[in-house]
Amino acid sequence: MGIEIRKHEGGCGAEVLGVDLNSLSDADMRIVRRAYADNGVIFFRDQSLSEDEHIAFARRWGEIDINKFFPHIAGYPEIAAVRKEKAQKTNIGGGWHTDHSYDRIPAMGSILVARVLPDQGGDTLFANMYSAYETLDDATKKEIAGLKAVHSNAHVFGSNAYYDNPERREFSNDAAVGEAVHPVAITHPLSGRKALYVNPGFTLRFEGKSPEESRPLLHQLFAHAMKPEFSSRFQWRPGSIAFWDNRATWHFALNDYHGEERLMHRITVAGVALH
């Protein structure tokens, strides 16, 4: 049986069927790479990846970007723990964002493997930034052509910031906070397509403008990209894996399972400078 690429329900992503990620041939990899570039996020079901196999799969895509904020799995600095304990109220990634846009060279994407799931809830939403860009009106496309935006993580990972709370204090890392500037509309390095590259989690303002001056257009772009027709909802099951591209999608981890544990293993793959 060959590989099948099936569009996920909704406006973002595709499911890759008929593969075992532990034994992908080079020809299979070419198909999977194409699906990744075209769809922004790809989903796999019924996989069985040990920590070492997770790392080996990630290395087929590029260098691993070691997370500077999240605790890692014991013995595996490459694997960040995306965990919510039974007693915790906050989750990781509980708002629309894309990872690492605050880095000068933002990460390509993340491979998230489900390890412990709540009985119900804990789905992840994904939004398609190719579609968000392509459906902007011509005047807005013209307005953002050549425009750059400033991204930062200080308000998320710095002192007195979102994660600097008693549940997540270990995430707070002032030494690693940073800012970067990227084009608002990028040409995607793999697909060559245009994608919208601002996100509510980390984009603060346009270059050369204050946050107040930037707000109307920035919020217009966020509201447009959040339209339900560009997004999909991924329901996790044991053996599920999502591999998203930070340059083509946003994601949002729903926090609707208080009192239950959820643990995901995340490996982030390094990217390239964006233009």
Residue 93 binds to ligand SIN (criterion: CB under 6 A):
yes
How far apart are CB 88 and ligand SIN at their closest, in Å? 13
Q: Which is nearer to ligand SIN, 117 or 144 (CB)?
A: 117
- Closest by CA position to 251, among listed 128, 113, 111, 75: 128
List 83, 97, 247, 262, catalytic entry: 97
Is 102:151 a contact under the CB 8 Å cutoff? yes
Among 151, 188, 247, 251, binds ligand SIN (CB under 6 A): 251
Q: Rounded to an integer, what distance in angstroms lies between the CA atom of residue 113 and that of residue 239?
A: 7
| Residues in Cβ contact with 233 at an 8 Å cutoff, skipping those fewer than 6 apart | 9, 10, 123, 124, 125
Cα–Cα distance between 227 and 210 in angstroms, integer?
26
CB 24 within 8 A of CB 229: no
Q: Which helix (H) or strand (E) holds 39?
A: helix 26-39
Least gap, CB of 19 to ligand SIN (angstroms) = 21
Backbone φ and ψ for 21, nearest 5 degrees, come out as -65, -10
- In the list 42, 49, 82, 150, the residue contacting ligand SIN (rule: CB under 6 A) is 82
Q: Please identify, using beta-carbon distances, which residue of 136 and 253 lies nearer to ligand SIN.
A: 253
**Which residue's CB is nearer to ligand SIN, number 41 or number 149?**
41
Whether 100 is a known active-site residue: answer no
Please identify, using beta-carbon distances, which residue of 221 and 253 lies nearer to ligand SIN.
253
Q: Among the options 54, 65, 83, 99, which is catalytic?
A: 99
**Which positions are annotated as active-site residues?**
97, 99, 251, 266
Q: Contact positions toward ligand SIN, by CB under 6 A?
A: 82, 92-93, 110, 112, 124, 251, 253, 264, 266
